[in-house]
Amino acid sequence: MSQDELAAWLRLALTPGVGNGAARRLLARFGQPGAIFSQSTAALHSCVHASQAAQLHQHPPGWDTALDTAWTWLQNAGAAEAEGCGRALIPLGDPRYPPALLQIEDPPLMLYALGPAAWLAQPVPLLDSRCALAIVGSRNPTAQGSENARSFAQTLARQGWCVVSGLALGVDGAAHQGALESAPQALPSAVRPCTVAVVGTGIDRVYPRSHQALAHAIVRQGFILSEYPLGTPPLAANFPKRNRLIAGLSAGTLVVEAALASSSLITARLAAEQGREVFAIPGSIHAPQAKGCHTLLREGAKLVESVQDILEELPAARQALDRLTQAASTPTPTSASPAAASAAATVTPSPSTAAEHPVLAALGFDPMGLDQLQGRTGWNTAALQGWLLEQELDGQVARLPGGLFQRLVRS
């Protein structure tokens, strides 16, 4: 990302009164953020309110400082990369952006990411959410609750799952630690994080501070993600908002222990609203940490006693894991070879030729799922998801509820 591109994305994200929804409408209408700010007020008013259009013609407060901070952070990635850790700022439309977040009500415009440099350099989604499970719970769990979180995460990671949580004290930390205990010693060539931490602060801060060592371990085998600008402190209002990302990145959410006022219940309810599965581990009727789980169970969450109880509800994940394993074992040609470049060109679409590609013909005009479209085209999942996102931003394809896509007819 160039400095000009970064400046445009940050300006769009920081403009007062222009939320993620309005920003996505602007991107769909005008393309990249840089093109938005060259539009007339009347043109902007065609997709946003007049007050928002007026704000877009002004520099937002703190924009210059945020740009300097973010650019310096990205440019200083060399020292971190020497230890294998990379930094990235991933906007909508980037092939690394997790496709599952596009299905939630309020996907972030940008994600700040820390993780293995080799993975962040690959133009593929950071995470296949079909093979990810959120594990959340009390910040003050019982000893059994901590052990349950650790052992469930360890077993899931051993079977190829990614454990998503929030790096908080208690259950979150135990879940991350359990996943790391099952991580391979050597990184696989494919992007296969064992755990992802979604934080409610700027990604340059670790909260709580006692999780510094855990955070450093996570970025060697997984990712830390944040939607908040660098330097953002741990504000109470940000943590419930980040919970939608924890739920959205996962095929389901497991609540290990939670009091009735726990933010983990927010994550579980967001997961249910997003069409994801919700699981809960029952506990003692006398333990306050169990009352939230019992409430979820009364509301229809799946009662969990073992990892098998989770796997039975997510059969599609097994197929996704098998595909990932097969893809990881298939040699990938390098760009240094002309023959490899030619072969890669048959798999990865070029933005300049996407409109002429037969994928649009294969899609037709009826709603179609990704698996069905993949079967018709033969494209690999990462290439197809990236191409569909490009077409969505270009107004050629619409994303429908239930993970379906539909070709649009332009007048």
CATH classification code of 1-62? 1.10.150.20
Place of tokens 């700022």: 89
Question: What sign for the dihedral angle of Cα 348, 354, 356, 359?
Answer: positive
Q: 392 with 398: CB under 8 angstroms?
A: yes
CA–CA distance, 311 with 294 (Å, rounded to integer): 21
Residue 123, pLDDT score: 94
Q: Taking the domains of the chain in order of start, what are their residue ranges?
A: 1-62, 129-321, 350-411
Query: What is the tens place of the pLDDT at every residue in 148-182?
Result: 999 999 999 999 999 999 999 999 999 999 999 99
Pick the CATH number of 129-321 from 3.10.270.10, 3.30.70.20, 3.40.50.450, 3.10.129.10: 3.40.50.450
CA–CA distance, 306 with 303 (Å, rounded to integer): 9
Number of C-beta neighbours around residue 187 at 10 A: 16
Question: What sign for the dihedral angle of Cα 254, 257, 259, 264?
Answer: negative
The DSSP-derived string for 181-208 is: HTS-SS--SS---SEEEE-SS-TTS-SS
pLDDT string in tens for the chain (411-residue length): 889 999 999 999 999 988 888 998 899 888 889 899 888 888 888 888 888 888 888 999 999 999 999 999 998 865 555 567 899 999 998 999 999 999 998 999 999 999 999 999 999 999 999 999 999 999 999 888 999 999 999 999 999 999 999 999 999 999 999 999 998 877 888 889 999 999 999 999 999 999 999 999 999 999 999 999 999 999 999 999 999 999 999 999 999 999 998 899 999 999 999 999 999 999 988 889 999 999 999 999 999 999 999 999 987 776 666 665 555 554 443 333 333 333 233 233 333 333 445 787 777 766 778 888 877 787 888 778 888 888 877 777 877 766 778 777 543
Q: Can 1-62 and 350-411 be said to share one CATH topology?
A: no
- Compute CA 330 distance to the chain's CA centroid, rounded to the nearest angstrom: 25
Residue 323, pLDDT score: 60
Q: 134 with 104: CB under 8 angstroms?
A: no
Q: 196 with 162: CB under 8 angstroms?
A: yes
| Alpha-helical runs (H) found in 19-142 | 20-30, 33-36, 41-45, 50-56, 63-75, 77-82, 117-120
CA–CA distance, 91 with 37 (Å, rounded to integer): 17
Closest by CA position to 90, among listed 204, 225, 280: 225
**Fold (CATH) for 350-411:** Arc Repressor Mutant, subunit A (1.10.10)
- In this prediction the pTM is 0.77
Residue 246, pLDDT score: 97
Residue 364, pLDDT score: 73
Order of all β-strands in the sheet with 85-91: 85-91, 110-116, 223-226, 195-198, 162-165, 132-136, 252-255, 277-280, 302-303
Omega cis (within 30) before 125: no
